[in-house]
Amino acid sequence: MININLPNDIWSVHDSIKLQKEIMQFYNLSFEEFLQKASTSIYEKIKKIYPNLKNWLLLCGHNLNGLYGYSIAILAYYEGYNVNIIDSQEKIFFKNQYIDSLREIWKRTGKKIYSLNSTFPKANLIIDALLGDQLYVFYKEKYEKIIKKVNMHHAKTLSIDIPSGLISETGNTFGETIQADDTIIVLFIKPGHLTGKARQYIGKIHYIHLNMNNWLKRKKSPIQRINTNFLKNKLLPRSPILHKGNCGKILVIGGYKGTVGAVYMTAEGALRAGAGLVKILTHKENIAMINITVRPELMVNELTKFNLEKEILWSDVIIIGPGLGKNQWGKFAFLTVINSKKPILLDADALSILSEHTYKNNNCIITPHPKEAAVLLNVKIQDIENNRLSIAKELRKKHKGIVVLKGPGTIIASKKKIAIADIGNVGMATGGMGDILSGIIGSFMVDMDLFTAASIGCIAHGAAADFLAKKKGTRGLLATDLFKVLYKFINPRFLKK
């Protein structure tokens, strides 16, 4: 899922409510005027998305979404659409007077207001204005039944702001969740639009700025959406007089018996991302295999105490973990590396070993997937998925440095900034993808601050995978396939096209 035309600022629900009040004040709009402006814009957008669908069914809650829903229904009715409303009939929203007023206007059309338990009227478009992001605390079992009916219905489904059941703050769900074909967002992108389970339910995103984008651009959120545009702004041409010695010397440590593939993919990932020299320290049984069957550009040696101390001094950046193992062999390497002063990236088995230590280092990047994050925090995997943003912050607080919490909508967290990578696809759910990501990030750690290096690495990695998925599909995508196209996303002259 690539959302090209969205703003980069991502706001919490609390901040979006506050900013909506500020924006109304700035443009001297009453709540009724704002509602009319937003509803009209949503209505016009729906007509553009589905120009041939004329039988609309709106599911309306008693919240801002419900107000949008009623307003849209009234506009559509008077333009000749066949429109029906199902009303949640809750009395919980602070602006009930507006719902009551719109209901009266609707009643004057002579049209019936259906309840949640009603049989669905004829519809080829269902518009979900039921729960929204301000009402999830009131989610009740009775909504599950209607959401199931919507998901089983043949009609197209469009959600306003966020599919009912999906939580704007986290991207987690309550249970049954609307499976939207399209979602229209007004003004404020939230974390739950981009991370967690969002991609499973949100469909194609359409953004409406209400011609208020000049004001919105003045506001900056600490949470940023990043995509390939981030690469265009951050990747600069290299000096024409560089040589291999100052393009980065990367030391990759890992590969116990039988796990040579992981350490190799990390090392080649670093090479492909532009590192000048890459050395592998691995188990002695792997050396011949690497020398014979993989990249001749890679240097390889046995992981011993002497070699490790020597190569740490040689290196600019150290990546440790892929295929490392959790035995004494891996633990001795881990403890030696974390006592060095070099920039470090910890991945895979190094994260398991890290869970046994109270290690904090601002010159370090950790790259856990949800299971590894659960081990680091001694919680269940579901706890990680329930609130990925909060978990990334907690990991950062515990270990300092930069956290890359992998998964759909990968989160990159520093002390003051958070980025959500709006890139990648399900084809990346295959062995080796994380190993290559570590190599790519490690390469950029040589001459960039760690947050930028991690962000660029995640975007270049995801962009390469998206390019291949668009060309060949997601099934059967191999991690090493990325090597063939990665250059397109790390060289400025290709990015400008």
Query: Please, are residues 210 and 406 in contact by the beta-carbon 8 Å criterion?
Result: no
Order across the sheet with 317-320: list the strands.
9-10, 223-226, 418-421, 411-413, 402-405, 364-366, 344-346, 317-320, 249-253, 277-282, 299-302
Q: Is 406 annotated as contributing to ligand binding? A: yes
Q: Is 248 annotated as contributing to ligand binding? A: no
H-helix or E-strand containing 31? helix 31-49
Query: Please, are residues 255 and 280 in contact by the beta-carbon 8 Å criterion?
Result: yes
Whose CA is closest to 84, among 125, 54, 118, 56?
56
What per-residue string of b and e applies to 155-176 under the rule 16 or more CB within 10 Å gives b? bbbbbbbbbbbbbbbbbbbbeb
- Tokens representing 379? 């919680």
- Ranges of H-type helices in 294-429: 305-314, 328-338, 349-354, 370-377, 381-386, 388-399
Q: Is 262 annotated as contributing to ligand binding? A: yes
Q: Is 87 annotated as contributing to ligand binding? A: no
Instruction: Read off the DSSP letter of residue 342.
Output: S
CA–CA distance from 410 to each of 151, 189, 285, 462 (Å)?
27, 16, 35, 10
Q: Could you tell me where the beta strands, DSSP code E, fall in 52-178?
A: 55-60, 82-87, 113-114, 125-129, 156-160
Q: Is 121 annotated as contributing to ligand binding? A: no
Say which residue the tokens 């930028």 belong to.
452
Q: Is 323 annotated as contributing to ligand binding? A: yes
User: How many Cα atoms are found within 13 Å in the side-chain-facing hemisphere of 40?
Assistant: 8
Instruction: Read off the DSSP letter of residue 273.
Output: T
Q: Is 434 annotated as contributing to ligand binding? A: yes
The CB density around residue 436, as the number of other CB atoms within 10 Å, is 30
Q: Is 370 annotated as contributing to ligand binding? A: no
Q: Is 321 annotated as contributing to ligand binding? A: no
Annotated binding site for AMP: 406-410, 434
Annotated binding site: 262, 323, 369, 406-410, 434-435
Annotated binding site for (6S)-NADPHX: 262, 323, 369, 435
